[in-house]
Amino acid sequence: MTVTTNAAQSGTFKVGGDIAVHRLGFGAMRVTGPGIWGEPEDRAEALRTLKRLPEIGVTFIDTADSYGPGVSETLICEALHPYKGLLIATKGGLTRSGPNQWVPKGQPHYLRQTVVNSLKRLKLERIDLWQLHRIDANVPRDDQFGVIRDMQKEGLIRHVGLSEVSVDDIKSAQKFFPVATVQNRYNLVDRGSESVLDFCAQNQVGFIPWFPLAAGNLAKSGSVLDAIASKVSATPSQVALAWVLKRSPVMLPIPGTGKVKHLEENVAAASLTLSDDDFHTLDTAGRKEASRSAA
């Protein structure tokens, strides 16, 4: 099998019904420093990685104001502005006090300020996809959804997404605005969001699985995943990503890295076509692994 490097081979999806992107995107969390804090250890390589994205067909880039904080958005602007042919999605609603520390903050005035700051850092007049990074359990959700609706009406936001939510959360938000995307943790062995994914597929809501390359024990030598990877001349991570892409046409995986080599390896997964038999074999093995992990 000839492996090429072009995200266009992953197919397309229209975010919000009107912004077409290649389904294999890029998560820009890892272009920051350790603990998703501060500047990257190799800033030049991080910028090279970002600049490589449009060259290999990546048109959907996901970031957040809390990555750095502010660092990821700033680097994206430096590398890619004015974003011709790209959808730059960002998120707000988490505060940072140090490396690997994340605290929800959903007060309406704060959410509005995150949007204003992201617009400045990205040098945009409107964010085409803005996502609530987390629903803050300490703030009435209607207050959070209400200010997002207001910002959409004001033209600061084009489409709205949610992150780490249930089907009920999505339905509650839809009373205020159309939900264009949902970003939940999901991969071959982490299947807790199956019902959310099914709901998204039924309603043409983009599903953005974060941590899409994880494969748990299936990544070990001699596993089913390892055997299939050998058969198709790919790495286990590439096969795990190809499985995610085949799982649903609304799937928009965003594997992230700060290195060009890793980026190209990830994007090469778009050229892999798993047979139905291999897909179902992996699906069964992944569900078993997920059940063992949950036990």
Distances (CA, A) of 93 to 104, 134, 167: 6, 6, 20
| Rounded CA separation 133/166 (Å) | 14
Beta bridge partners of 26: 61
Cβ-based neighbours of 221, under 8 Å, separated by 6 or more: none
**Given phi > 0 = left and psi -120 to 50 = alpha, else beta, which region is 100?**
left
Alpha helices in the chain, H assignment, sequence order = 43-52, 71-80, 108-122, 141-153, 167-173, 194-202, 224-231, 236-247, 260-267, 276-294
Active site residue 67: yes
Question: Which of the residues 67, 83, 110, 186 is marked catalytic?
Answer: 67
Under DSSP, the state recorded for 40 is -
Backbone angles phi, psi at 62, to 5 degrees: -110, 130
Residues annotated as catalytic (active site), given as ranges: 67
